[in-house]
Every structure is written in C-alpha cells, then in structure tokens.
Amino acid sequence: MNSTTTTAAVHATPEGEPARAHDPILGTYKRPPMELVRGEGVYLFDRDGKRYLDFVSGIAVNALGYGDAGLRSALHAAADGLVHTSNLYHTAPGEALAQQLVDHSFASQVFFCNSGGEANEAAFKFARRWARTINDDKAEIVALRGAFHGRLFGSLAATDRPAYRLPFRPLAGGISIVERDLNDVAAALDATTGAAVIVEPVQGEGGVRVLDHGFLRELRALTRERNAALILDEIQCGLGRTGTFFAYEQAGIEPDILTIAKPLAGGLPMGAVLMTDAIAAAIKPGDHGTTFGGGPFVASVASYVVGRLSDPALLAHVRETGAWLGEQLQEIAQRTGRIRGVRGVGFMWGMDIMGTAAHVVSEAMAAGLLVCTAGEYTVRLLPPLVATRDELAEGLAVLESVL
C-alpha cells in the first residue's frame, strides 16, 4: 500500500514556476498549480489561503455559489434517504423532480442521466426513434457552426472543434455541422432523411454567441415543416443563467427536446432530457437506459436547486444585473481599447480580447479573479447567479486592471 501523501505535491521548475510532481490524474486538463480547498459565497480559497472571486462557477455549475445554507440542508436531507436503487424501481425524488421540470416547461416527460454529453446522446437517440416512426430513412442530425454539445462520439460529431474531433475519427455518422444560416440548415435538412436540428440558444464554448431570436423562430418553423425535431441544448445557458428559467422562453418558441445538466443538482453529476408527448410516445422500455440516472439522492438535491433557480426574484436579479454587467463590459472595452467585442446575456458573457484569452485568464487568476476561455480569443464570464452588483463590480475592476 502506498503510504505517501498525495496532496499538494508542488515543486518549482528551473524557471521558478511552481509545478506539480507526477499527477496520478490523467492530463486531459491543463490545471494551474494552486489547489482549491474551500468556498464561501462567490469566493474560493486555495491551500495557501489566497482568495479568488469566482466568475467561472465550476463552468456554469455552481449557480448558488459556495456554502449555500439551503443547498447544504438539501444535501444532508438527501443523505438521510436512499442513495441509489437503480432504475428498475420507482423512487419518489426522481418522479417529483420530473414533475417539477414538466411544470416549468413545454415538456411532458423527462429522462435523467449523469452529464450534459449523455443528455445529448440520449436526445439524438430519442429524436431518431421518433423520426423513424414517420419514415425509416429519417436519421440525419444537423448542428451549427460554433456548436459544443459534448465529447462522446455522437455529441462530438455535433461539436464544431476540429482539435477535439480529428484525433478520434471516425465519429458517429449521420451528424453534420452547417453555418448559422437558415438557408444552409434548410439545404442540409432533407424532409425525407432529416431527423433533428440541435442548437444552443446561447453558444457557450463557441464564444458566447447569443443566437438571434428571429433565427430560432425560423428554425422552429423549418423543423416543423420538415417533420424534424428541434433539440435545444440548454446545458450551459439553461436553468436561469440567461435570466429566464429556460433560454428558449425569450425567443417565444418551444422545442421538441431540451437537454440540461451543469447546475441541475448543485454540483452533483446530473443531466436530463425533456421532451414533448409526441417524442415520448416513440420511446419504449429497453430503448435507452442508465444505471445511475435520476437516483434518489441526486434527484432530491436537484429538486431543491430547481426550486431556487426558478424563483422569479432570482431570475429578475439575473436579468437586471446581467444587463448592467453587459453595459459595464462595454464601458471597459471603450476605456481599455483591449476588447474587440462583447457578447452575452444574463450572467453569461464573452469578450473578444486583443491577444490570447489564456493570458488574461492567468493574469486575472494571479490578481484573485477566476475567469475562463471560450475559444482562443474569448474570455468568458459565468459568475454564480447569486452574485451581487458589488461582487461583480469587484471582479470587473480586477479584469480591467489586467487587460
């Protein structure tokens, strides 16, 4: 048995940069050397006691920030109940959560899984299963330029990042990526072979691009006309982040299928696929499954989180404070001359930087602010939805000082 300690194994490189000794975790992420040990409100603290204002929120997961008293009580209460039984049996928390999501949406049924990527894979299967009830040739799925839908073989095929895709070909077939243009989607979505179009109402990883509401409405009309499902991926932009519970509400449309994950269970892994009656009617026992999805522990925590994220007062705060945040970013762009463009909505913003975004991320981190990238030149801000105007202003001042 290995008796040596595995924590905080940090040493210095010849250049004086602190670096970690051999890391037993596979290097799929390039992590900075600091180690985070605790959080409080919108702040994280590292092992040396340094405080970071967090505008990443675990990549849009920690909507309630850190140490939220209600979330902690929900976790304790959930731990007093069943943790797992499998999907072979009924348990109440998953059914209550599904009903809550149905009550807050267009959907009539919900499938639970464990991550965003899995939710999109399930959505593709459900869309094809439904489309084949119309015509057996209907299998093609169309995604958009700039899309990010996940890292699994189907969701990666719908993700527009050559560096993520190329080493892993062949990806799942029958999935293509077209320009964010109605004519291009219309050309790719044949009425006899097209099963679905998948869209993020706000593209997150692709540079925080808010899709035009008129374009979303046209996509809705086109998919109806071609008998194809409209799948909205709200894994990053849903559950309050844009200032409405779901982003699609602002475009005045309803999808056939919607995927969510990230903040759903307050940091526990959970994804969900919401769907209309028509899609649900095509799915039969045995068509899809997951051992863990929607288990009682995670579902009862998610019920609490959904209650908080659907609170009209929180959503109004995100809308109003988010609009103010966008104005502040525009002003910073004018004052510094270092930003080529500002895009976003609610608590989801991207800034195109002169220079690389990674450089700004590391300078901001050194100055006590966590931000992340969305592509090579875009700095992305995803503060906890509970962040106050003062806390946001504190982060903006740091950001401006490092630009």
Ligand X SMILES: Cc1ncc(COP(=O)(O)O)c(C=O)c1O
Establish whether the linkage from the previous residue to 170 is cis, with ω within 30° of 0. yes
Asked if residue 116 binds ligand X (CB under 6 A), the reply is yes
Which C-beta is closer to ligand X: that of 68 or that of 234?
A: 234
Which C-beta is closer to ligand X: that of 158 or that of 332?
A: 158
Stretch that binds ligand X, among 43-51, 92-100, 199-207, 304-312 (CB under 6 A): 199-207
Q: How far apart are CA 49 and CA 47, in angstroms?
A: 5
- Least distance (Å) between residue 348 CB and ligand X: 10
Out of 98, 142, 228, 261, the residue judged to bind ligand X by CB under 6 A? 261
- Least distance (Å) between residue 71 CB and ligand X: 19
Out of 216, 235, 306, 402, the residue judged to bind ligand X by CB under 6 A? 235
Stretch that binds ligand X, among 37-45, 113-121, 168-176, 366-374 (CB under 6 A): 113-121
Asked if residue 241 binds ligand X (CB under 6 A), the reply is no
Listed in sequence order, the residues at least 6 apart from 39 whose beta carbon sits closer than 8 Å to its beta carbon are 45, 54, 62, 65, 66, 67
Query: Which parts of 292-321 interact with ligand X (CB under 6 A)?
Result: none
Q: How far apart are CA 239 and CA 217, in angstroms?
A: 20
Q: Are 147 and 198 in contact (CB under 8 A)?
A: yes
Out of 236, 250, 300, 378, the residue judged to bind ligand X by CB under 6 A? 236
Asked if residue 106 binds ligand X (CB under 6 A), the reply is no
Asked if residue 148 binds ligand X (CB under 6 A), the reply is yes
Which C-beta is closer to ligand X: that of 271 or that of 332?
A: 271
Residue in the structure block whose two tokens are 């374009």: 215
Residue in the structure block whose two tokens are 């464990």: 114
- Least distance (Å) between residue 161 CB and ligand X: 11
Q: Which two tokens stand for residue 87?
A: 């999907």
Q: How far apart are CA 238 and CA 243, in angstroms?
A: 9
Alpha-helical (H) ranges within 21-106 are 57-60, 69-80, 92-103
Which C-beta is closer to ligand X: that of 120 or that of 378?
A: 120
Which C-beta is closer to ligand X: that of 39 or that of 204?
A: 204
Which C-beta is closer to ligand X: that of 105 or that of 236?
A: 236
Asked if residue 204 binds ligand X (CB under 6 A), the reply is yes
- Least distance (Å) between residue 214 CB and ligand X: 21
Query: Which parts of 16-75 interact with ligand X (CB under 6 A)?
Result: 59
Q: How far apart are CA 90 and CA 20, in angstroms?
A: 46
Q: What are phi and psi of 209, to 5 degrees?
A: -110, 115
Work out the end-to-end distance of the chain between its first and last CA atoms, rounded to an integer number of angstroms: 49
Amino acid at the residue 367: A
Out of 233, 256, 352, 391, the residue judged to bind ligand X by CB under 6 A? 233
Query: Which parts of 356-395 interact with ligand X (CB under 6 A)?
Result: none
Total residues in contact with ligand X, by rule CB under 6 A: 15
Closest CA to 240 of 109, 118, 382, 94: 382
CA distances from residue 31 to 18, 52, 361 in whole angstroms, order as listed? 12, 15, 12
Stretch that binds ligand X, among 114-122, 172-180, 189-197, 381-389 (CB under 6 A): 114-122
- Least distance (Å) between residue 190 CB and ligand X: 25
- Least distance (Å) between residue 57 CB and ligand X: 12
Which C-beta is closer to ligand X: that of 39 or that of 207?
A: 207
Q: Which residues of 268-301 are buried (b: 16+ CB within 10 A; e: fewer)?
A: bbbbbbbbbeebbebbeeeebebebbbbbbbbbb
Stretch that binds ligand X, among 13-21, 213-221, 230-238, 283-291 (CB under 6 A): 230-238
Listed in sequence order, the residues at least 6 apart from 386 whose beta carbon sits closer than 8 Å to its beta carbon are 41, 42, 63, 64, 65, 68, 314
Q: Which two tokens stand for residue 162?
A: 């050559």
- Residue numbers at the binding site for ligand X (CB under 6 A): 59, 115-117, 120, 148-150, 200, 204-205, 233, 235-236, 261
